[in-house]
C-alpha cells in the first residue's frame, strides 16, 4: 500500500498514512478536527539501474541495448598473444656506442 503525506492548512500538522488506491483521501485533521487536510505532493526519487539509461551507452545495431553481466565488468581485459609475454621473452636491443 502506498504512503500518503497529509498537511493541515489550519494547524500545520503533517503526517503520513498508509492507504489503498481505492480509499478516499482524508479531509479531517486528527489534531484540530477541522476539514482542512490536503495531500502533500513531493518528488519521487528514481534510480535507473542497468545499461541503456545514459548517453555514454551505445545501442546495438538491432536497436536493443546489449545486456552486460556483472562478471563481465569485473573481469580484466584478456591480453593478446602478442602482448606483454612476447615483449618479455625478446631481449632488449642494445644500442652500440661506437
pLDDT in tens, 60-94: 555 555 555 555 555 556 655 555 544 454 555 55
* C-alpha span between 4 and 72 (Å, rounded): 41
Flag whether the pTM goes above 0.85.
Answer: no
**5 phi/psi in degrees, rounded to 5:** -105, 130
What pLDDT, on a 0 to 100 scale, did the predictor assign at position 13? 95
In angstroms, the CA 55 to CA 61 distance is 16
8-state DSSP, 87: H
Q: Is residue 32 part of a domain?
A: yes
**What's the angle, vertex CA 21, arms to CA 17 and CA 22, rounded to 5?**
110
pLDDT tens, residue by residue, 13-60:
999 999 998 999 999 999 999 999 999 998 878 877 776 666 665 565
What is residue 68's predicted lDDT score, i.e. its pLDDT?
A: 59
Q: Considering the domain boundaries, does residue 93 fall inside one?
A: no
Give the structural domain span for 8: 1-54
- In eight-state DSSP terms, residue 81 is T
> The CATH number of the domain where 36 resides is what?
2.20.28.10
Amino acid at each position: 500500500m502506498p504512503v500518503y503525506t497529509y498537511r493541515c492548512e489550519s494547524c500545520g500538522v503533517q503526517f503520513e498514512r498508509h492507504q489503498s488506491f481505492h480509499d478516499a483521501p482524508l479531509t479531517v485533521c486528527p489534531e484540530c478536527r477541522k476539514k482542512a487536510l490536503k495531500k502533500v505532493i513531493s518528488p519521487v526519487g528514481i534510480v535507473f539501474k542497468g545499461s541503456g539509461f545514459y548517453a555514454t551507452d551505445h545501442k546495438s545495431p538491432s536497436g536493443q541495448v546489449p545486456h552486460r553481466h556483472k562478471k563481465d565488468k569485473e573481469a580484466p581485459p584478456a591480453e593478446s598473444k602478442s602482448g606483454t609475454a612476447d615483449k618479455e621473452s625478446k631481449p632488449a636491443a642494445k644500442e652500440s656506442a661506437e
